[in-house]
Chains A and B, each alone.
Chain A
Amino acid sequence: MALLTTNYLTPTGREEAWRFTPLRRLSGLHDGSVSITDRKSLSSTGTLQKGVTFQRVSRELLSPQSVSEDVIVQRVHAEANDIALLEIAPNTKVSEIIHLQRLLTGPLGAELSRVRISIAENSQATVLVENSGEVVLGEDIEIYVGKGAELTFISLQEWDSASVYAARHHAMVDKDASFTSITVTIGGSLVRVLPTVDFLAPNSSAELLGVYFATEGQHFEHRIHVDHGVPNAKSRVNFKGALAGDGAHTVWIGDVLIRSAAEGTDTYELNRNLLLSDGARADSVPNLEIETGEIVGAGHASTTGRFDDEQLFYLMSRGIKMDDARRLVVRGFFAEIISKIPNETVQERLMNRIDDELTKAGA
């Protein structure tokens, strides 16, 4: 299978999907030049409730359920030897958060990781993936949300500053099911995540939320793709980002495709960026393609701005110092999304990390 590698079309950087990504900094994940170590860094922590299983399955037993045009995802599909499989049985209400963790220390070889999360019909669960440490990692996470199920998927990218992470987080949402994702990216050198959604049957819904904070030299890219191919599905996208420091670069792409069969679609996507210093750059490209007029609603908004002087003045006029006022405003900006993470310890940790980044950037 490894031979396939040479057949991939190596991106040149001119392709729409790659035009923002600094290819040289991908450590060879995109052109096959990196050598892969057979490592399984994702593990489940804590005890799993009845009806929840986490295991490794060999690739022969579990082929991908979706295709991707992304060359790194293709490589993961072709080369990852086994799959981390998290399954939730039908009609199961999982009350505790299911924790998956990846904690790597020191520079190790590159890894390709395939993950499958599958929640069966009428079940409810929240899955939290905590990523930290130093990695070069290509990953594909396929998520199946069964009929009438509700899944919240939270992924935290708190990588060390040298890490490279290129991944697809792909949700397939079945009839009457709802999927919520919260993607947090605050650490790493280059992070490129593709949060994508495919609606498999009508009356399904997806809410994709995200926050990112890039400081000096960091490249954080989120390319959303929501594919409305069935009637009466609903999608909401809301990503908020902050940037500070020289060469901080964020990219947000929001592709929403409403196919001709997708009558009754209701979609709205939003991206807001807060530029905290000069020398940082936020690219934000919402993109709505509509092939049927019979929809409930479709819209998008994208804003990029600096600190609001009026907000800072108001806070400072109550004795709050400039630095503290800025911290409050930035925390407030992210709170809308971070407060939705159902774990206060994690919320506080992320907020503190954001404070630290802000202090480090001197913004």
Chain B
Amino acid sequence: MSTLEIRGLEVSVITEKGPIEILRGVDLTIASGETHAIMGPNGSGKSTLAYSIAGHPKYTVTGGTVTLDGANVLEMTVDERAKAGLFLAMQYPVEVPGVSVSNFLRTAATALRGEAPKLRTWVGEVKEAMNALNMDPSFSERNVNEGFSGGEKKRHEIMQLELLKPKIAILDETDSGLDVDALRIVSEGVNRAKEANSLGVVLITHYTRILRYIKPDFVHVFANGRVVEEGGSELADKLEEKGYAEYVGS
């Protein structure tokens, strides 16, 4: 049982013109097994929240706390956060030229597990994860995210989620750019990870359609760098109908 606690989080992004304040006091508590949807208009700061929790160097935390089971996440390096059990499925996964998927996955698994996984079981593990996400076996010999289609990138992120078995995962617009079939396949992957590891999920999304496949326990509406409304899954239905108009510009 793990808990990620975000309290009063304030974050600025460093730009050439100086820092810009983006998150203005975010409060969220995510426990194992729970699924929280964060919904909000473009530019409201959803990705900033995700990157800040993962420790991206571009973002500076100017106030508030983030803890995982009481441990101060903000003091951890990026890799330490992953080792503590945090995972970020990125909205725009990064290309790493010359590094094969199989090498990348094995290096990551070795780092997270503290020892290299036994080759035989590992090969089987990877195969199974790829199979479950309808990915061609040749995928593992390609370079990380290089030349991947939008859908392939997202599958690759969820494959990592299943293989690396974090405690809490933040999925940043994993649904965007997916067709209906891919959306279902990717959602099933998330649900498998939830079941297998009692994963806590923060599902960042712009649209409600992924919520048909991954049922949220809580819905948080995000606008102007903070949570402006919270509720159960019924809140998503309201957003579907009325959009974000009443939350923005205020």
Contact = CB atoms under 8 A, between A and B. Distances in A.
B96 A328 contact: yes
Given A313-B57, A324-B107, A328-B107, A319 B96 contact: no
Interface residues of A, number: 24
Interface in B75-95: 77-79, 81-83, 87-88, 90, 93-95
Contacts of B90: 314, 317
Contacts of A60: none
B58 interface: yes
B70 interface: no
B3 interface: no
B96 A320 contact: no
B126 to A, nearest CB: 14
Nearest to B108: A318
Contacts of B83: 319
B93 to A, nearest CB: 7
Given A320-B108, A321-B111, A331 B78 contact: no
Contacts of B93: 314
Contacts of A325: 79
Contact of A317 (B54, B95, B99, B103): B54
Given A319-B79, A322-B79, A324-B107, A314 B98 contact: no
B97 interface: yes
A319 B82 contact: yes
B192 interface: no
A305 to B, nearest CB: 13
Contacts of A320: 79, 107-108, 111
Contacts of B102: none
B98 A316 contact: no
A308 to B, nearest CB: 8
Interface residues of B, number: 31
B160 A332 contact: no
A334 B97 CA distance: 9
A333 interface: yes
A311 B55 CA distance: 14
B219 to A, nearest CB: 26
Contacts of A16: none
Contacts of A309: 57-58
Interface in A104-121: none
Nearest to B98: A332
Contacts of A94: none
Interface in A304-363: 308-311, 313-322, 324-325, 328-329, 331-336
B112 interface: yes
Contacts of B103: 328
Contacts of B111: 318-321, 324
Contacts of A332: 96-99, 143
A316 B57 CA distance: 11
Contacts of A308: 94
B104 interface: yes
A318 B90 CA distance: 11
**From A316, A317, A320, A328, residue with most partner B Cβ within 10 Å:** A317
B79 A328 contact: no
